[in-house]
Structure 1
Amino acid sequence: MGHKRISAYQISIVGILSALIILQTFIPFMGNITIPGLPALTIVHITVIIGAVILGPKQGALLGGIWGTMSLIRAYTQATDPLTILLFRNPLIAIIPRILVGLVAGLVFNYIAKTHRKDLVGVIKMSAAGVLGALTNTCLFVLFTWMMYIRQPGTVIPGSSGANLGYLLIVMVLGNAVVEMISAGVITPILGQALIRFKRN
């Protein structure tokens, strides 16, 4: 009975979070804040990370895959700037980093929970998962963009070269990355603990 209850809980949470991810992806300013000439500032990663923390890395990866797929679709149907069209119509850039956001966040949370003191508060575990999940998204975005455009760097950043593309990409996304890591580190434990308490009840 307990197993069925947990499974029903997991299915319901995955369904709710998946619907939220879809809404966040397609409704302007609900999940993405577009800045002309720069990658969109996102909060969708927080939804994925929360799912990974409360459900585990597999479900986190699933939610990340949904986010990535929706991002790919959005790049074809609702792209708001040339950079989105250029980068997020590539499945390697749009989907793979998002899958790994959920996977990494879930693994980090589980690792800390298993290897550290029991009195290590849930806030710290969830914050660490949030920060590292967000960092994963940024690092893989930069890495895959660099890999795909190292031979034609001016396509991504006019005036850049193969030698400085990686550095310029880091500079371009640094502000967004800091905001996304801080927001994930703060919001994940607030909402994650509430959902875990709901699960226990």
Structure 2
Amino acid sequence: MKKNNVLNLTLIAVFTALILIQSYVPQFGYITVIPGLPAITTVVLTVSIAGAVLGPRIGAIIGLIWGVIALIMAYTQPGSPVSLLLFQNPFIAIVPRILTGLVSGIIVVVLNKVKTNKFISYGAAGLLGALINTLGVITIAAIVFMSNPQALTQYLGNTQGSQSLFLILIAVLGMNAVTEAVVSMFVTSIVGRALSKAFGSIK
């Protein structure tokens, strides 16, 4: 038990270091495609892999760490006006990231119980983890800005205010979501299988 606890702390430190590098090295963890709009994030891969390989508890912890780092970045060096508006809110910055690691871990646990192929189970974890992150951001942002959608929609290219904020966010973030989910599915399945034999026993 003590050995596992030390290993858990070590792995949390390693994943935290990876997230810090991805967060602060330009065009590494956050890839800007259209200036002014939210970047495609590769950090979700790290969190999904952590949850899939190390289990939902550690996945949630790694997600929490990512969320706190994202919150700090929104105040110190936001990548875009939209990122500033969204991720300065702790609920938007943190809750979807916790859910990413948690859901990725739960998916693998559930699929392993029904003897699903590891390539499929880790791929599903990566796919759903990335989608949960984007959907969580969209849903919470729509709720937070419900009373004053213009504060956000003007930065999303909608000046009419005739469409619902939820649909606008889906339209703006949808391409990011698809890209992140597909990449996360393949990377998590490949890396997850490689790491599962080494770390599967500490879940």
- Fold match (TM-score > 0.5): yes
Name whichever of 12-21 and 55-64 sits farther off: 12-21
Question: Which is further off, 188-197 or 62-71?
Answer: 188-197
Offset at 1:5?
4.0
Could you tell me how far apart the structure 1 residues matched to 2:22 and 2:141 are? 23
Which residue is equivalent to 1:188?
A: 188
Q: Which runs of 5+ in 1 are unaligned?
A: none
CA contact (8 A) 1:49 1:102 kept: yes
**How high is the TM-score relative to the length of structure 1?**
0.91
The separation in 1 between residues aligned to 2:142 and 2:181, in whole angstroms, is 21
- Choose the corresponding residue for 1:143, options 139, 142, 154: 139
For 2:80 and 2:120, the matched residues in 1 are separated by 37
Correspondence for 1:155 among 136, 147, 151:
151
Shift of the 200–53 alpha-carbon distance from structure 1 to 2, 3 Å rule, reads closer
- Code of the aligned partner of 1:51: A
Superposition deviation, residue 165 in structure 1? 1.3
Are the structure 2 counterparts of residues 113 and 151 from structure 1 closer, same or farther at C-alpha, using a change threshold of 3 Å? same
- Assess, with a 3 A threshold, how the Cα gap between structure 1 residues 162 and 66 changes in structure 2: closer, same or farther: farther
Structure 1 residue runs of 4 or more that deviate by more than 4 Å after TM superposition: none
Mark the runs of 5 or more structure 2 residues left unpaired by the alignment: none
Aligned to 2:92: 93
Distance 1:64 1:200, change over 3 A: closer
Are residues 1:197 and 2:193 paired?
no
In the comparison of the two structures, how many residue pairs are matched?
Answer: 196
| TM-score, length-scaled by structure 2 | 0.90
Contact 2:123 2:185 in 1 (8 A): yes
Percent same amino acid among aligned pairs? 39
CA contact (8 A) 2:22 2:29 kept: yes
The question of whether the paired residues in 1 share the 8 Å contact of 2:38 and 2:80 is answered with no
